[in-house]
């Protein structure tokens, strides 16, 4: 989720509407929540603009869409400014944007052996300490699955990859790689070996995906599938901080259709409460992992249709295991996910 500063200038008609209906501000919050956003803070201002808000939104496209829909009444003009917090800004001043990887040696025999030795330290220990208890449903759906597959899951915590790995049968764990944001996990110049891209590839078997990198960002994932390795990708593209399932990007559909491999939807419930986005603290709690039936797309399936199918399958899993949080708006149904969801 990105952070945006939204500045509003209301015309005379808009001011009359606000005076007649002060509850309009609550209506705006619900409208933004329906588009996977959240108003974090809201102020009335003196000067050039009438209102200022800090808004959390999935990406730039969705933030602009929110602004367009709010301006549709003709009663206000909005200026949307993407923002980052000051600690991150200061950190970026001394940090390069150059990334490392991918490392093809990560599927070599010696890397597999090292990863098996490190498994307790990198996967098992953290999952056992955080997930109390861990309930796994749907493993039977994988019994007849042969060859590589693409696993997709909702994304709400840094623990997601560790829990998904633990939830799968051993035959998939041994040959499973994880797509990770290149600008987060594979930056050059980070201090400490545990923050290095090569260490993540060795210990957790991650590989970099450039956000917004288009079709070429999938080249390495295609290579892995060709080598009979499964890949795990979060189709939302980023972690959710609202407890809602965001719209899916098209990258997974493009990859699945290009390589003719099945997609396995997995919904993980509870991890957002254990270690939410922006937090380093872990509060142990119950976690449920629901594994769905593999999706095999017929030849000729269009990318938007495949994306929509994956969202509906994931949403069905969510409806079965989701425990609503009191601090967020109700979750949308699968029908609210358009066939033409946000692109890769």
**Residue closest to 216 by CA, chosen among 251, 260, 263:** 251
145 with 77, same domain?
no
User: Where is the domain boundary, 50, 83, 116?
Assistant: 83
Question: How many folded domains does the chain comprise?
Answer: 2
Cα 199 from Cα 202, distance rounded (Å):
5
Cα 208 from Cα 60, distance rounded (Å):
21
Tell me, what CATH number does 314's domain have?
3.40.1130.10
112 with 49, same domain?
no
Q: Give tens-digit pLDDT for 125-164.
A: 999 999 999 999 999 999 999 889 999 999 888 889 999 9
Cα 196 from Cα 185, distance rounded (Å):
7
Tokens matching residue 205: 């078997």
Tokens matching residue 86: 């000051």
Contact 318, 331 (CB under 8 A): yes
Cα 229 from Cα 97, distance rounded (Å):
29
* CB count in 10 Å sphere of residue 9: 13
Cα 221 from Cα 234, distance rounded (Å):
13
66 with 156, same domain?
no
170 with 235, same domain?
yes
Contact 257, 176 (CB under 8 A): no
Domain presence at residue 96: no
**Residue closest to 331 by CA, chosen among 322, 340, 342:** 322
Tokens matching residue 164: 């998904």
59 with 134, same domain?
no
- pTM of the complete model beyond 0.95: no
User: Where is the domain boundary, 83, 117, 151?
Assistant: 83
User: Where is the domain boundary, 54, 83, 112?
Assistant: 83
**Residue closest to 204 by CA, chosen among 293, 114, 267, 274:** 114
Domain that holds residue 218: 104-336
3-state SS of 97-164 is: CCECCCCHHHHCHHHHHHHHHHHHHHHHHHHHHHEEEEEEECHHHHCCCCCCCEEEECCCCCCHHHHH
Digit-by-digit pLDDT tens for the chain (344 residues) are: 678 888 988 888 888 888 888 888 888 888 888 777 888 888 999 888 988 989 888 767 667 777 777 776 778 888 888 888 787 677 667 666 788 989 999 999 999 999 999 999 999 999 999 999 999 999 999 999 988 999 999 988 888 999 999 999 999 999 999 998 888 888 887 788 888 999 999 999 999 988 766 677 889 999 999 999 999 999 886 655 555 677 888 889 999 999 999 999 999 999 888 876 666 778 899 999 999 999 999 999 999 999 999 999 999 999 888 876 544 444 444 444 433 333 34
Domain presence at residue 179: yes
Domain presence at residue 88: no
Domain presence at residue 343: no
Q: Give tens-digit pLDDT for 43-102.
A: 999 888 988 989 888 767 667 777 777 776 778 888 888 888 787 677 667 666 788 989
269 with 301, same domain?
yes
């Amino acid at each position: 989720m990105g952070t945006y500063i939204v500045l509003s200038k209301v015309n005379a008609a808009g001011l009359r509407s606000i005076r007649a209906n002060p509850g309009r501000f609550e209506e705006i919050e619900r409208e933004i929540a329906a588009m996977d956003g959240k108003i974090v803070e809201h102020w009335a201002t003196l000067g050039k603009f009438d209102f200022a808000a800090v808004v959390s939104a999935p990406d730039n496209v969705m933030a602009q869409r929110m602004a367009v829909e709010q301006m549709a009444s003709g009663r206000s003009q909005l200026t949307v400014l993407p923002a980052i917090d000051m600690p991150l800004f200061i950190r970026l001043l001394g940090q390069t944007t150059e990334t490392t990887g991918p490392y093809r040696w990560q599927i070599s025999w010696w890397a597999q052996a090292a990863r098996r030795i490190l498994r307790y330290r990198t996967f098992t220990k953290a999952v056992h300490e955080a997930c109390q208890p861990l309930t796994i449903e749907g493993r039977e759906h994988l019994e007849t699955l042969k060859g590589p597959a693409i696993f997709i899951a909702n994304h709400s915590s840094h623990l997601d990859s560790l829990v998904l790995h633990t939830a799968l049968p051993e035959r998939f764990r041994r040959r499973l790689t994880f797509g990770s944001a290149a600008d987060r996990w594979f930056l050059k110049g980070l201090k400490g070996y545990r923050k290095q891209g090569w260490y993540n590839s060795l210990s957790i078997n991650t590989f970099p995906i450039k956000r917004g990198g288009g079709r070429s960002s999938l080249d390495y994932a295609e290579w892995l599938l060709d080598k009979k390795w499964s890949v795990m990708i979060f189709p939302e593209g980023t972690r959710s901080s609202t407890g809602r399932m965001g719209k899916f990007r098209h990258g997974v559909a493009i990859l699945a259709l290009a390589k003719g491999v099945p997609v396995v939807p997995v919904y993980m419930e509870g991890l957002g409460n254990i270690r939410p986005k922006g937090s380093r603290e872990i509060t142990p709690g119950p976690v449920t992992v629901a594994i769905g039936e593999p999706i095999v797309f017929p030849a000729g399936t269009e990318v938007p249709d495949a994306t929509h199918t994956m969202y509906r399958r994931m949403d069905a899993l969510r409806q079965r295991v989701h425990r609503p949080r009191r601090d967020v708006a109700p979750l949308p149904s699968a029908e609210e996910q358009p066939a033409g969801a946000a692109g890769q």
